[in-house]
Amino acid sequence: MNTPTHSNAPSLSTQLLHTAQAVDAVRQGRSLTEALTRCPAALRPGVQALSFTVLRRLGSAQAAREYLASKAPAAAVDALLLSALALLWPTAAGETAPYEEHTLVNQAVAAVKKVQLNSASFVNAVLRRFIRERDEITHLLLKDPAARSNHPTWWIKRLQQDWPTHWKGILQANNQQAPMCLRVNARRGSAVEYVARLAETGIAARSFEHPLLTHAVQLEKAVPVTQLPGFEQGDVSVQDLAAQWAAPLLVRGGSHSHALAPGARVLDACAAPGGKTAHLLELAELDVWAVDSDAQRLKRVDETLERLSLKAHTLACDAAAPQSWWDGQAFDAILLDAPCSASGIVRRHPDIRWLRRPEDIGALSGTQSRLLKSLWPLLKPGGRLLYATCSVFQQEGQGVMDAFVRQQEDAIHTAGVGGHLLPGLEDAADPLCSPGDGFYYALLEKRALG
């Protein structure tokens, strides 16, 4: 990343100003995605990139600001100061600093002047002191786990409790940029064929031999979707590797069950934005009902299906209240991709760790349990339900599943299928490790009673 030199390019101070506004919104509890919608479209790509960097280093930046100025300035000024400190933080081995340090300081001060003129000298002094004493300050601050890992302390402790062997790797993976992964439309071709198409356009990629990733492709370097051959025609979609487990698990079932028959009636609960809905339809001829409580997000399901020339019944309603929408016909299979902490997708959404609170996990696990209980009666005897969350916290995964199976005597948990996947820890010898995001999957079969 270099300082813009084109006369029409936005100044760094302007980009820092909008980055600080996005960071301030996250610190006030709003998502980065929402905050970026308020950024001018022409600035958004650069501001998003800067915001991602700042949020991945926010724990370190907050510790540095508290060390250099124990009394926080006004929120807008503080967000600018934190953004500059994050960008001045020492880079990892092999990385280059995003900007020359004195350029960054000068542009940060210029940005502060647009917000609160009388704070400019304060920000200038803090940033220049940080540069002068950076080695000493960072050595001191990195003794603190939150500053070192750039995660809240409660989050670190929960990972240590849930994953005593893997917690450090999860924290490290969360601070890396996630690779761009694709799902090749099974109706249009294979992953190997698409890798060859990409190579013809100069895009390096690889396919996988994993039985659940038969149509997955990972790019060596992310590119705009407009550069992907056949994207507009529906040949390929963007979807993380771990998310691509869902449709094959539901369609094929466990080792002792049969694949879903053509025309099988399938419910995709909490379907938006529609990647898993589309994947189901790419793999088999199914009668899919896609339900989501957010009508705006459900529109993305319709748009995705239209691009892929696929069809499903889409319903804007609460999956947990089937009495308001269910027609009484039981489903052969149900996919419940339940609302969760999203703690497994922090690589792609670095704001999540700063938005979540410890009490959220218990509330979310309660929602997950209610959804399971509400949807289970909609499943035919002999049918199957796939429970999924993009969380690495066991309370939202194995904890919810164990409690449900204990309470539901007609539910059989298919052993050896799914489980917890931990993000960005590619290790073929460890079934927990996944090159994709963090997820939890459990496949349940419904047996007939009596």
Specify the pLDDT at position 6: 45
Q: Which residues are catalytic?
A: 390
pLDDT tens track for 234-292:
999 999 999 999 999 999 997 677 899 999 999 999 999 999 999 999 999 999 999 99
The answer, yes or no, to whether residue 5 has pLDDT greater than 60, is no
Specify the pLDDT at position 94: 65
Specify the pLDDT at position 57: 97
Rounded CA-CA distance 87/430 in Å is 35
The answer, yes or no, to whether residue 54 has pLDDT greater than 60, is yes
Please give the share of the chain, as a percent, with pLDDT higher than 70. Answer: 97
Rounded CA-CA distance 89/85 in Å is 6
Specify the pLDDT at position 428: 66
Specify the pLDDT at position 435: 85
80 pLDDT band, cuts 50/70/90, is very high
Please give the share of the chain, as a percent, with pLDDT higher than 90. Answer: 89
In 3D space, the residue among 300, 173, 174 whose CA is nearest the CA of residue 238 turns out to be: 300
Specify the pLDDT at position 433: 83
pLDDT tens track for 287-330:
999 999 999 999 999 999 999 999 999 999 999 999 999 999 99
| Cα 180 off chain centre by | 12
Instruction: Give the global pTM.
Output: 0.93
Is the domain spanning 181-238 CATH 3.30.70.1170? The answer is yes
Specify the pLDDT at position 450: 62
The answer, yes or no, to whether residue 366 has pLDDT greater than 90, is yes
Mean pLDDT throughout 71-95? 92
Q: Domain-by-domain residue ranges, the chain?
A: 12-149, 181-238, 242-446
Specify the pLDDT at position 137: 97
The answer, yes or no, to whether residue 3 has pLDDT greater than 70, is no
Specify the pLDDT at position 10: 84
pLDDT tens track for 121-157:
999 999 999 999 999 999 999 999 999 999 999 999 9
The answer, yes or no, to whether residue 4 has pLDDT greater than 50, is no
Instruction: Provide the mean pLDDT of the chain.
Output: 94
Rounded CA-CA distance 296/314 in Å is 12
Homologous superfamily (CATH) for 242-446:
Vaccinia Virus protein VP39 (3.40.50.150)
Strands 331-337 and 379-389, bridge-based pairing: parallel
Q: What is the CATH number of domain 12-149?
A: 1.10.940.10
The answer, yes or no, to whether residue 1 has pLDDT greater than 50, is no
In 3D space, the residue among 206, 210, 201, 213 whose CA is nearest the CA of residue 180 turns out to be: 206
The answer, yes or no, to whether residue 2 has pLDDT greater than 50, is no
pLDDT tens track for 169-183:
999 999 999 999 999
